[in-house]
Structures are given as structure tokens and as C-alpha cells.
Amino acid sequence: MKRFIFISTFFFSIIFLQKNIAFAQEKSKKAPSGVLGVEEYKINAIFTEEIIKIDGEMNEEIWQKTDVADNFFQNFPYDTSFALAQTEVKMVYNTQYLYVIAKCYNRNPEIPYISQSLRRDYDGGNNDGFVVFFDPFKDKTNGFAFGITPFGVQREGLVVNGNNPNNDWDNKWFSASKIYEDYYIVEMAIPFKTLRFKDNATSWRVNFGRIDRKNNEFSSWVPIPRNFGLSSIAFAGEVIFDKPLKKAGTNVVVIPYVTGGTSQDFTKNQTLQTTRNAGGDVKIAVTSSLNLDLTFNPDFSQVEVDRQVTNLERFEIFFPERRQFFLENNDLFAQFGFSRIRPFFSRRIGIGRDTTTNQIIQNPILYGLRLSGKVNKDWRVGLLNMQSQRQQEAGIEAQNYTVATFQRQVFSRSNIGGIFVNRQRTSGANANSDFDLSIQDFNRVVGLDYNLASKNNKWSGKFFVHQLLKPKNETDQYAHASYLGYNDLNWDIAWNHEFVGKNYNPDLGFVPRRNHWRLEPFVRYKLYPKKGGGLVNRFNFQFYNNIFWNTEGKLTDRFSEFGHTINFNNSAFAGVWVSNQYTYLFSAFDPTNTGGEKLPEGSEYTTTVISAYFASNVRKKFTYGITTSFGEFFNGRNDNITLNLGYRLQPYALFSLDLNYNQLRFPEPYNSRDLILISPRADITFTRSLFLTAFAQYNKQIDNTNLNVRVQWRFRPVSDIFLVYSDNYYAENFGVKNRSLVLKMTYWLNM
């Protein structure tokens, strides 16, 4: 009963807060000086039967009859004037495609455009290019982004939570670009099948962005304050269609794959093993806004190896999901809770512990389905179900994984979401049982989240409560937290609290730390020089505090930091920080994480560290960043230097080298170690369809050297052949651990 009263009061308080924020922002609403109000930014898209050739030229007669979106406004380095490099955009459409054409003026033709590579899904902020943002449901929260460089390289992604781009989403669309003397033209043909939208819609929200990176200017059609990025779809105009939009026929995509390869594990004296496999994915548009994804016998061999890190923490490290099946509408499943209190983490699916070796290994997935998208303007839903395979020889039982979610939009841009997560063992009741849902071995989470986003984008927040359910429930199997942030031109202010019960341990979640209360206040003041055009764009002064208590009230961690950073107009960045930290070890711990003598449970440490960072101008062909920190670390000290080097042979190759060195010194009998992590990398794009990525990782902490080489040939749009070679060696003597060679082909087939 007490918990019910707490939760009810919690959410009613948040709703009351949202209403007061909405009232306050309406009173303070003010358009930037010299520009239109947001509601006045409109562009008409004309329906046409004329054949549009995608060639980067504006030859078709229809382009002379359409509206023009122009007078782009600066977002960076300042937001008080029109863009120096202007852009003009036009739109037309037919029953199958939405066409966008943009003329991007070049105010310094003698300076070459910046393009780091010809690889699809380029780094948007570090390349010249044009991007269009669509908000088909006009909810100011979720949308699509399509970008293209002057060299014709494509980039697409989803926008979630109002301003967070998710560039892992891939789809099939067509484009071209052409460079002229003092401008370039980009042209897009985006299939309506690719987009999710409401049938019979007559308008969408839209904004256009321009990155003139060689002159270090970002701009947009609808003005966006410089404390927000171009992907902030809270700031958007409206595209009005001549005729209501209709669903563009049946949209079914089949993506089969075949794979074969060899591997050998030298640590087990294994002979050369040969593998072959086949499977595939199916994408079905149930409606124009709701998508069903199916996968059968999925294989993820082309996924890039995780970048290694030096781990000096006491807790598990998070590595992001890279598998394509999990990525579209990923926020509906993976962004409940906080970054370190996730009730669902998809990388838990497809792994198991081999009971004969006690090693974590891949466990084959038999099938998966995922339904996700919009039901209408206010409701989004998600349903995921996957079944893993039983491996009796390894002692791994079959598991069924289910996640069901919903989001209901409230007020202008906020939403309430619910989630149900279930891990259910389905084999092992007897020797012949591979699928039995009556087995009492499950781990479930039910939760409710409130995501706050104000109309003017200045206020944001998240508030949630999650409950764990098991066959035998214990006390403190729940977590709750709240975050509230405010961001305007001069201030970033945030407040966060967390509670994680000592028995809150979701099997499919990411919760590296339990049994704690946490408070995390943060404040940053941003100071802009009065005279523009100098070296400095912004000074930042910030204070951050992070405090943990256990649920019995014992202080276990406190981290306080004061920092001063500088953003330069040429894109360089510098900063210095001073931090003070208190740590209570509630379990024994080796601070080098190398298996040495452990500091005793119950010991306490207070340390001070000074850090500094500098990153160079990203527009240069040679770039570098350097971070250094020195100071106390538990009962010893750690002096660290991190170096990032990059050089590009524009636009065909990008070479980089990352170096991380930690000099750890402790009194006897504790380990003193020099931990080195070196990661050279080469990313070569021979053409817009043939790529080579090669990198190595030397990690002294885990005694491993990894080599990974991947060749990718995109022989048709979103259809690829991958050849992946991977090697692992001991870091000390370079003895071989294991190696593999995999060939895989995927094909995107529209039915």
C-alpha cells in the first residue's frame, strides 16, 4: 500500500510539474529576432506525374513551379544571423516517391569540400552535407533523417525523443549529387514505403539542415537555438501536400543471407572447423506506420568487433547493440529506465554460459519477431519475441524472450510508457522437452516511465518505477528514479535521483550496480564572448556531483568535479577538471583488474585528480586529441594519457590511432601495472560501394591482441557481400588464440 501511494504521488507530481512548465514556456515564448514565427514556416509539395530523373540536376519543368524553402538561419557558430552559405530547397511527390532537391551555395569555391570517406552513414557533423528531417505524425518527438554529401554519400537515421539521432537504421532510397563552380545540388527520391506515416495525411512537419563544415557553419530553414543540434525536431516547419497521402501498396521486404567460413581455436588444440548457414529477415509493413520484423536463424558474423577499453571500474561495462534486427524503433525497447538501470538490454539475447567450461558463448537464435511503430498520432507500441536453441552438450537450456511496450503521448511532446520483459526457460523439464512454458524458471520486469519534453525543448526529464518478478520473490526487487533538466542559452541544470533495490536483478537488463540510493546534481554556465568572430565561441563553467549511499544509509561513493571548458570557433575544444572522490569498498577489489592482490572489503579512500583535454580542429586533414590526468587512485596513484590521432586522404581513406596508457602504482603487496591499449585503424573506401576496414587492438590488461579485417561490397542498394577475417593473440608473446574467416552475402528483395 505504501508503494502504491508513493508511485501515485510520484506520477501525479510529475504531471502537475509538466503543466506548470508548459504554462511558463507559453508566457516566455519568443521568436528569434529577424525571423518568422515557427508556425509561419510552410512549404507546398506539388503532386506530379512528370518523370523525375535523379541526377543532381534541376532540369525537370516541375522544379520551376514549386515553392522554395530558403533564407536559412545560422545555428553554429552563432544563432543571431542568416547563414553566410545559403541553401534553397524544393519538394514534389507522386504516388511512390517524395522528391527533395537542394541547391547549396558555396561561398569559398577555392576551398575543397570536406568528406572523410565515401562510406554510407558518414559522420554527419564532420562532413559537408545537406539533411532533411521529417516528422510525419507531427508529434515533435519521433522522425526520420536523410542526408547526403556533395560527393553523393548517403546517410539515414531515426530521430527519437525529440533530438536524439539513431543512425543505425538502414533503408533503401535513391539520391544523386553534382558539384558546380559555386554551388552543389543534391537530389533525393525517398520511397513512401520507406517511411512510416498516417494514411490520408495532408501535411508533415519538416526541417532542412545544412552543414558547411569547411567554413564551420551549421544552418537550418527553421531557426534552431545554438544550444540545440540540427536534429531537434521541436523546431520544424510544415510541408503541405496537394493531395492526401496514400499507403504506397504492399510493402514486404525479404532479406535472405547465406554464410560460410572456417575457424580454429588453438587454446583447445582444435582442428580447423568449417561452418555454413542460411537464414534471413522479413520486413512487413502492417500499416503505413506499423512494421513487423521477422528473423529466422539469424547470423551476425558481419557485425564489427567491439572496441576494447581499459576497465578500471568495479562494475560491468556497457557495449552498444550493433545487430540490425534490434535497431529500428530501438528506443521503444532499449531506452526504458536510465543508461545504467535498463530493464531490457538486447545483447543479453543470444548468449549462454557453457557449464563445462564456465565460459560465455554464443547461443543460436531460432527465430525472432518484432512489431513496432505508431498506431496513431498518440500511441506507439512494441512487441518482441525470440527463442534460443537448447545446447545440451554445453549445459545451455533453451530460453524464450518477450518484451512488450507502449508509449502514449501527453501534453505537447511528453509521453508515458510501459514495459513488460520476460525471460522464460523452455527446456530441461525432461530430456526430450525443448519447449515447455510451464517451467518455473523466469525473470520478469514490469515498469512505467514518464518522459518529459517541453514544447520549447528547454525542459527534459525522465521518471520511472520498475518491479522485478521471480518464482520466489524477495524484498527490494524494484527500482525508481527521476531526472529533470533545464537547458537554455546560458544554463544547463540537471537533477537526478536513483534507487535500486538490493534484489533488483533483471536477467535481460543492464544494472551493473544494485543496493543504492544516488543523487546527481549538475550545473553548467555558458558564457559567450560579446564580440563575434574571435577565437572562442563559448566558455563553460560546470560543477558535477555524484553521491551513492547503500539502502542502509551508508555513504559508499562521492565524486565532486569542477571543470572549465572552451569551445573554439574553428571546432577545437579544450578543458581542465579538478575532482575529489571518496570510495568505500563494499567488496574486495583489485584496482588494476588484472587478478592481483585485492584491497580489503570495508576499506575507504579519498583521492584528488587533475585532468586536461584538448581536441584539434576537425576540419584539418590531420586531427588529434589528447587527454591527461594525474593524481591519487585508491591507496596509490594513476597517471594516464590518452591520445587520438587521425589523418584522412579525402575522400578515400581515414587512418586513426588510439592510445591509452595508465601508469598504476601501489604499495606492496598490491599490483603495480603499466596498462597499454593501442588501436590502429584504417577505413578505406575505394568507391561508394566497395569498402575495407582493418584494425588491431593490443590490450595488455586482458592479455589480448585482436586483428579484424572486413571487406564489404555493396553490389545493390542495401545488399552486401562481406568477407571478415579475425585473429586473436596473447599480448605478451603473440601466441595464437583463435582465428576465423567468414564470407556472407545478404540481399534486399522488395516483394
Task: Give the single-character DSSP code of 399.
Answer: E
Q: Confidence class of residue 301 from pLDDT cuts 50, 70 and 90? A: low
Best CA proximity match to 333, nearest among 318, 325, 323, 345: 345
pTM, two decimal places: 0.86
Q: What is d(CA 43, CA 49) in angstroms, rounded to the nearest whole number?
A: 19
- Does pLDDT of 181 surpass 50? yes
pLDDT in tens, 514-528: 999 999 999 999 999
Among 168-172, 250-254, 442-446, 540-544, whose mean pLDDT is lowest? 168-172
pLDDT in tens, 303-347: 556 677 777 787 777 777 767 778 777 889 999 999 999 999 998
pLDDT in tens, 577-626: 999 999 999 999 999 999 999 999 999 999 999 999 999 999 999 999 99
**pLDDT value of residue 629:** 97
- For 599-608, the CB contacts below 8 A with 24+ separation are 599/634, 599/635, 599/670, 603/635, 605/632, 605/634, 605/635, 606/580, 606/581, 606/582, 607/580, 607/581, 607/583, 607/631, 607/632, 607/633, 607/634, 608/578, 608/579, 608/580, 608/581, 608/632
**pLDDT value of residue 233:** 92
pLDDT in tens, 495-504: 999 999 999 9
Domain residue spans of the chain: 31-241
Strand pairing class (522-527; 516-519): unpaired
**pLDDT value of residue 304:** 58
pLDDT in tens, 403-424: 999 999 999 899 999 999 999 9
CATH class of the structural domain 31-241: mainly beta
Percent of the chain with pLDDT strictly greater than 90: 71
Taking a C-beta distance cutoff of 8 angstroms, is the pair 426, 437 a contact?
Answer: yes
Q: 252-278 b/e with 16+ CB inside 10 Å = b?
A: ebebebebebeebeeeeeeeeeeeebe
User: Which amino acid appears at position 459 of this protein?
Assistant: W
Whether cis (ω within 30° of 0) applies to the bond prior to 77 is: yes
**pLDDT value of residue 40:** 86
- Does pLDDT of 300 surpass 80? no
